[in-house]
Chain A
Amino acid sequence: MKNFKKVASLLLAGSMLVGSLAGCAGAAPAPGADSGDQAAAPAAASGDKVVKIGVYEPASGDNGAGGKQETLGIQYANSKTPTVDIGGETYTVQLVVVDNQSSTEKGPSAAQQLVSEGVSLVLGSYGSGVSIAASDVFKNGGVPAIGVTCTNPQVTEGNEHYFRICFLDPFQGTVLANYAYKTQNAKKAYCLSKLGDDYSAGLVNYFVEAFTALGGEVVEESFPEGNSDFTSYITNAKSQGCEVFFSPVSIEAAANIVEQAASQDLGMPILAGDTWDSNVVCGAAEGKNVDICVTTFYQEGAVPEFDNGLKEYINGDSTALANNGGNDMIAAVSAMGYDAYYVALEALKAAGSTDPAAVQGVLPSVTYEGVSGKIAFNATGDAERNTAFVKKVNTETGTWDFVAEQSI
């Protein structure tokens, strides 16, 4: 009983502490902004004005690999164009990179950090779930955000501060369904998503809608967080006579799925969305008997100058090389990150100020011709895009082969 009291009082004290900390977090922007100014002071002393762009990306967790590649694109763009002219003055662009750890619980505090640092706008994130989770933090902080590759419609829906430069899942899901039904001739699809993951659940949902509308049949399943044993799901797909295995999940799960599909002789093509466009997937599939197709934003070779520049940048820096997964294959998300950075610069130029509110005001009318195509925002704040690239893994060389440019 005595012990119980002790524990109870400790718990109480603990909860009060947490409560007071939460209170601090709410009041944090002011002191946080101060420290941000101090950090900027040395740069200002050297005669430069600084504008901060927040980079809200995962560097660890399920989506760490993709997040790092996207950040890499942004950093490369920053190294190419480190300054911007705002209202007749030259500002140095400072990237403030935070790690949202691919987690919807930890994302908001990383986002709060950006708001506290006083960034003019935010780029990111890879992964729709974390973007949705941080949306309110950016909104309350009055900071506009540009989603780079978060494809779930909910990211930009019903708000004015979130924009995005990539295509959306209803589009991507329909493209994939058309590809599966018409090109791959599959009449029954197995769809596997991750439980509680906005991205995979959303994309599967749109795929199923489009695929059943075409007259196909689907089997839908989802796996819980932390699962790496996909053997039974693969058996399910085989035993139910499915003809395509659609699994637009995180890269980490992808590596496991590819490996286990190969060892169990899946015998049907694997189809996935933009997340799988990664050298991790290529590496896992190299030398194995698997057939993997993905839809994505950019095809390596489309803009050679960009490809070569980025490759040079990656090879010139061992950290960058490690962040890109150990080789210089160009991920579509890096191209998107690169474009996002320039869109951000365009917005700053148009706003003529580093004030986040002013940037948000001009963002809807910003247009930019990027390496991944033309970028212009519609009324919801989404980029108007109507093509996706279909790529296929070449299992002999471990690289991507271009298959088709697909619109709906």
Chain B
Amino acid sequence: MSVVLPYLLSGISVGGQYALIAIGYTMVYGILRLINFAHGDVFMVAGVMMVYMCASMPWYIAMPLMIVFTVLIGFAIERVAYMPLRSAPRMSIMISAIGVSYLLQNLVAYITGGLSQQYPTIPFISDSINIGPANTKVVTVITPFLVIALVFALVMLINHTKIGMAMRAVAKDYDTAQLMGIRINSVISTTFVIGSFLAAIGSVLYFSNYTGVTYTSGAMPGLKAFVAAVFGGIGSIPGAVIGAFIIGISENIVKGFEAMLAVFGINSNIGIATFSDAVTFALLIIILVVKPTGLFGEKATDKV
């Protein structure tokens, strides 16, 4: 156990951070049938904003402000880049999403000069702690609990509030929901607001652990979170969360596989750590071949 524990801890923590991004992907897909490629970059922009804001104000003011701004950015992206395309073919809106993604990346590249920025140290969650044989940051330990709490709150919102019911209705049947008098634009905006809010929280947790923020920092976590959402069955929130944890844990176990074997006296030299991403994506292929809708996916949705 003491051998596996550090890897599990890293995996659970990074998995929780992927989960927060994956929820944004999966909710938008559930409602708009759109893969919001800009979502990973919203996450990165949240990180960059925190870096710049912490330079001029204390973190406890910067953090709520950063979350508000990230939510506003998510909202604005939907209004400017996706809403005018609501009746356009789905391919057009996806291209628009890719466009927004590159726009955000290039804007940040311009502002930061393309250089890596050090994420500010946030008291308490950036502190080191000991858990048995493993040294890690407090954030690693908090992440899974925070994720579970947030997901619980989100599920409550979706199942027991009026806006939640509207969201479910829109996800079920877009046109009929509209006919029934649901204000579709406010439902979609709410979805983007929730997604961006979770991405902002995710960015605080992620960048507190992996402190370099660059304009491409959103790409890899975004991709992994997207994979997690597909893995869990896109459109399903619990699916996205479980998918994210599985991906986070499996990639860290793969990275440490040989070291673990070495501790048990088996010396191998296959260099499997190099293939941590490859193994993760191979896992995705296997799951999709066996179960094309993902772990918790609804049947008979038309995929893009």
Interface residues of A (CB under 8 A from B): 59-61, 64-65, 68, 101, 195, 219-224, 226-233, 235-236, 239-240, 251-253, 255-256, 259-260, 262-265, 280, 283-284, 322-323, 325
Residue of B nearest to A227 (CB): B220
Report yes or no: B114 in contact with A239, Cβ–Cβ below 8 A.
no
CB contacts (< 8 Å) of B14 on chain A: these are 229
Report yes or no: B113 in contact with A283, Cβ–Cβ below 8 A.
no
- With both chains docked as a complex, state the minimum distance between the C-beta of A404 and any C-beta of chain B, in angstroms: 29
Q: Determine the distance from Cα of A399 to Cα of B136 in the docked complex, in whole angstroms.
A: 26
Give the residue of B7, B118, B256 whose beta carbon is less than 8 angstroms from that of A255.
Answer: B118
- Is B236 an interface residue, CB under 8 A from the partner? no
Report yes or no: B210 in contact with A228, Cβ–Cβ below 8 A.
yes
CB contacts (< 8 Å) of A219 on chain B: these are 259
Known contacts being A235-B6, A325-B115, is A222 close to B271, with CB within 8 Å? yes
Known contacts being A236-B259, A239-B3, is A231 close to B274, with CB within 8 Å? no
Q: Determine the distance from Cα of A283 to Cα of B260 in the docked complex, in whole angstroms.
A: 33
Known contacts being A229-B14, A232-B252, A233-B255, is A255 close to B212, with CB within 8 Å? yes
CB contacts (< 8 Å) of B143 on chain A: these are none
0/1 string, B272-284, CB within 8 A of A gives 1: 0110111000000
- Cβ < 8 Å to A, chain B residues 198-231: 209-212, 214-217, 219-220
Q: Determine the distance from Cα of A399 to Cα of B72 in the docked complex, in whole angstroms.
A: 40
CB contacts (< 8 Å) of A253 on chain B: these are 212
CB contacts (< 8 Å) of A259 on chain B: these are 210-212
Give the residue of A68, A229, A239 whose beta carbon is less than 8 angstroms from that of B263.
Answer: A239
CB contacts (< 8 Å) of A64 on chain B: these are 113-116
Residue of B nearest to A266 (CB): B135
Q: Determine the distance from Cα of A253 to Cα of B210 in the docked complex, in whole angstroms.
A: 10
CB contacts (< 8 Å) of A235 on chain B: these are 6-7, 10, 134, 256, 259
| Selected A-B contacts with CB under 8 Å, 11 pairs | A60-B113, A224-B277, A227-B276, A228-B220, A233-B255, A239-B256, A239-B259, A239-B262, A263-B128, A264-B6, A283-B118
Report yes or no: A284 in contact with B211, Cβ–Cβ below 8 A.
yes
- Is B109 an interface residue, CB under 8 A from the partner? yes
Q: Determine the distance from Cα of A222 to Cα of B126 in the docked complex, in whole angstroms.
A: 26
Report yes or no: B220 in contact with A240, Cβ–Cβ below 8 A.
no
- Is B137 an interface residue, CB under 8 A from the partner? yes
Residue of B nearest to A233 (CB): B255
CB contacts (< 8 Å) of B118 on chain A: these are 255, 280, 283-284
Give the residue of B6, B113, B209, B263 whose beta carbon is less than 8 angstroms from that of A59.
Answer: B113
Residue of A nearest to B259 (CB): A236
Known contacts being A227-B220, A228-B220, A235-B10, is A240 close to B262, with CB within 8 Å? yes
CB contacts (< 8 Å) of B128 on chain A: these are 262-265
Report yes or no: A251 in contact with B273, Cβ–Cβ below 8 A.
no
CB contacts (< 8 Å) of B6 on chain A: these are 231-232, 235, 239, 264
Q: Determine the distance from Cα of A61 to Cα of B106 in the docked complex, in whole angstroms.
A: 12
Q: Determine the distance from Cα of A195 to Cα of B273 in the docked complex, in whole angstroms.
A: 11
CB contacts (< 8 Å) of B260 on chain A: these are 239
CB contacts (< 8 Å) of B113 on chain A: these are 59-60, 64, 68, 322-323
Told that A232-B10, A264-B135, A283-B118 touch, could you supply 7 new A-B pairs with CB distance under 8 A?
A68-B113, A228-B217, A230-B210, A231-B136, A235-B6, A235-B256, A236-B256
Known contacts being A59-B114, A263-B137, is A222 close to B212, with CB within 8 Å? no
Q: Determine the distance from Cα of A262 to Cα of B137 in the docked complex, in whole angstroms.
A: 10
- Cβ < 8 Å to A, chain B residues 125-150: 126, 128, 134-137
CB contacts (< 8 Å) of B256 on chain A: these are 232, 235-236, 239
- Cβ < 8 Å to A, chain B residues 260-294: 260, 262-263, 271, 273-274, 276-278
- With both chains docked as a complex, state the minimum distance between the C-beta of B264 and any C-beta of chain A, in angstroms: 11
Q: Determine the distance from Cα of A260 to Cα of B115 in the docked complex, in whole angstroms.
A: 19
Q: Determine the distance from Cα of A253 to Cα of B274 in the docked complex, in whole angstroms.
A: 16
Q: Determine the distance from Cα of A183 to Cα of B121 in the docked complex, in whole angstroms.
A: 34
Report yes or no: B212 in contact with A252, Cβ–Cβ below 8 A.
yes
Residue of B nearest to A319 (CB): B113
Q: Determine the distance from Cα of A68 to Cα of B255 in the docked complex, in whole angstroms.
A: 33
Report yes or no: A232 in contact with B114, Cβ–Cβ below 8 A.
no
CB contacts (< 8 Å) of A227 on chain B: these are 220, 276-277
Q: Determine the distance from Cα of A261 to Cα of B114 in the docked complex, in whole angstroms.
A: 25
Q: Determine the distance from Cα of A223 to Cα of B209 in the docked complex, in whole angstroms.
A: 17
Report yes or no: B274 in contact with A224, Cβ–Cβ below 8 A.
yes
Q: Determine the distance from Cα of A195 to Cα of B277 in the docked complex, in whole angstroms.
A: 11
